[in-house]
Chain A
Amino acid sequence: MLKPEAVEAGDRLPAQTSFAVRIEEGLTLECGVHLAPLDVAYCAYGTLSAQKDNVILVCHALTGDQYVAETHPVTGKPGWWGRAVGPGCAIDTDRFYVICVNVLGGCMGSSGPKTLRENGEPWGTDFPPITIRDMVFAQARLLDHLGIDRLFAAIGGSMGGMQVLQWVASLPERVGAAMPIATAPFHSAQNIAFNEVSRQAICGDPDWHGGRYWAMDTIPAKGLAVARMMAHITYLSEEALTQKFGRRTRRDAVPSHEAVASGNSLFGEIFEVESYLRHQGSSFVRRFDANSYLTITRALDYFDLSADYDGDLSAPFRHCATRFCIISFTSDWLFPTSQSRLLARALNRAGVNVSFVEIESDRGHDAFLLEEPDLDRTMRGFINGAAEQAGLSQRTAPDPEAPVERGTVVTEGTSHAS
């Protein structure tokens, strides 16, 4: 274990961006279980202002993680939202201190099914059921730890958007501005149905071993890959698939007699869309834990903001001063615009200051991760407007006088790629 390391705000070198904090007092989960200690892994970019008023929390989606703007340590791929987070980007790290936290239940350093218990074994399927609210409170514990009272903004897409909504619903005084993107105030029956197919694929894999696959020195690779393949289809639109692959084949669409007689070529990779999905599945298996996938998909399914308020979606937002910008995409059928509109109207009823934009895109749910000029413009405009309203200066000058308590660094961080 490394020694506690106090990092000065304004200290740009060394460019350590990846951190892990152990919070000994832990967190009482919504299910009643007290989880202690609580590990929270996160990445942070930019410079914390002296007033600590320039913090943007970026919340990641189901299979995302904290490596939002840097090379992923496992896959070697660029950060999942590098186009939105960085110097001069919409979420400008020259101006804001950007934090992205691996969600509770995740598998990149925060407490989750992969975490070792006292008996030296991973939690596995014994990991308590968690909710989006638990994820948010784990993030809030981290901010407490860092001495950050208030977020200038919370921003996230898909499940990240749900965390943004939950942040405002649970801790409205701690969020200045909220940008939920391609998300919904509750998980629909269709959303739950897709998740259930994913879970069945994993649990049906003989290598899953009732969730104790680590004991057998294996992983349910087949099941997890199928889960990912199926989910990936829901992230794309029909138009996107058609444009990208159409009916293009990798080899003869109708295999020869000999090929069929010799074995499985009829069900080998014939169409390009198939090899694309298989590749998506197999590369996912290398970086994601199956039990984490089960745990997080359940947290998604439980999500329903209005459940505690007799179905009144306005109730959790009444009298909140947070500025909202809701963004949806025309071709997103997993979290359709109708859900965002429902949310926007509920916020109107609550008197909240809300902007609502539906961006034209043919790329489905994944559009929020892709190059969409209107998304970029909207994000920049909203952030600038909110900053102006909050009286935040254009650039945040580094202030070496403000120390940030990082707490106990339990794992060594990866350094910034560039």
Chain B
Amino acid sequence: MRLDQQLIAEMIAPGTRVLDVGSGDGALIDHLFRTRQCDARGIEIDMREVTRSVAHGLPVMHGDADQDLVHYSDDAFDYVVLQRTLQAVEKPREVLRQMLRIGRHAIVSFPNFGHWRLRLQILLSGRMPMNKVWHTPWYETPNIHPCTIQDFLELCESEGYVIDRWLAIDEAGERAPWRRSIRLANLFGEQALFLLRRR
């Protein structure tokens, strides 16, 4: 399991109901079921990953964040998790609203577009930045809604979400030390991880 998934797992209370939106190979829900006795389920858009997950006995259904969250009832889950996917959905604000409708908490991670290297690239080259995280050219990237940590904070504020915890982490998932300063986190954090709830 990736280190950032480990951090997500630590945010989740044992024995709770969890929906992992974009569950990939199912590593997180498998971990939550086995070590935290959670009723953990997944939604995944890639059919190969879905088949692989179900073949491992994991409850995963084919679907995507934009289309399928609307079909769950209010408060169906304690946590709804969206890993590294917010920037790729069609309507990020609506997806967040759905997550916090069907879940009491939302756990969201996304790559921070405000990282200093990206800023520097665009400043020096005058072109869309490319690196390990943002590795596809602008005309075919699935990441159609990139945002910075600052941007995300602002959205949470305008939507009235309470931020219970947040972390800036580097690509490997290590916790970064600039926890106290959002400005520094926005400059040096490669990934951001938020635990939200409704007000």
On A, residues with C-beta under 8 Å from B are: 323, 325-326, 344-346, 348-351, 353-360, 374, 377-378, 380-382, 384-386, 388
Contacts and interface: CB of A to CB of B under 8 A. Distances in A.
A386 B62 CA distance: 19
A180 to B, nearest CB: 13
A357 B47 contact: yes
B56 A381 contact: yes
Nearest to A381: B55
Contacts of B55: 374, 377-378, 380-381
B41 A353 contact: yes
Nearest to B34: A388
A385 B47 contact: no
B138 interface: no
B57 A357 contact: no
Contact of B73 (A351, A380, A384): A351
B61 interface: yes
Contact of A356 (B39, B57, B62, B76): B62
Nearest to B102: A348
Nearest to A377: B55
A351 B41 CA distance: 11
B21 interface: no
B72 A353 contact: no
B57 A388 contact: yes
Interface in B134-155: none
A378 B54 contact: yes
Contacts, number: 70
Interface string B46-71: 01001101111111111100001001
Interface of B: 39, 41, 47, 50-51, 53-63, 68, 71-73, 76
Which one of B41, B62, B72 has the greatest number of beta carbons of chain A within 10 Å?
A: B62
A344 B72 CA distance: 11
A345 B56 contact: no
A355 B60 contact: yes
B23 to A, nearest CB: 11
Contacts of A349: 71-73
Contacts of A354: 41, 59, 61
A385 B58 contact: yes
B73 A381 contact: no
Contacts of B61: 326, 344, 348, 354-357
Given A348-B71, A349-B71, A353-B39, A384 B57 contact: yes
Contacts of B53: 355
A220 B73 CA distance: 52
Given A348-B71, A355-B53, 16 more contacts: A323-B59, A344-B62, A344-B63, A348-B72, A351-B72, A351-B73, A355-B50, A355-B60, A355-B61, A356-B62, A357-B50, A358-B47, A360-B47, A374-B55, A377-B51, A382-B57
Nearest to A324: B59
B76 A357 contact: no
B39 to A, nearest CB: 7
13 contacts: A323-B59, A344-B62, A348-B72, A349-B72, A349-B73, A353-B41, A354-B61, A356-B62, A358-B47, A359-B51, A360-B47, A377-B55, A378-B51
The 5 closest A-B pairs by CB, nearest first: A385-B57, A381-B55, A356-B61, A377-B55, A345-B71
Contacts of B39: 353
A328 to B, nearest CB: 9
Contacts of B54: 325, 355, 357, 378, 381-382, 385
Contacts of A380: 55
Contact of B59 (A345, A374, A377, A385): A385
Contacts of A350: 73
Nearest to B56: A381
Contact of B68 (A348, A355, A381): A348
Contacts of A355: 50, 53-54, 58-61
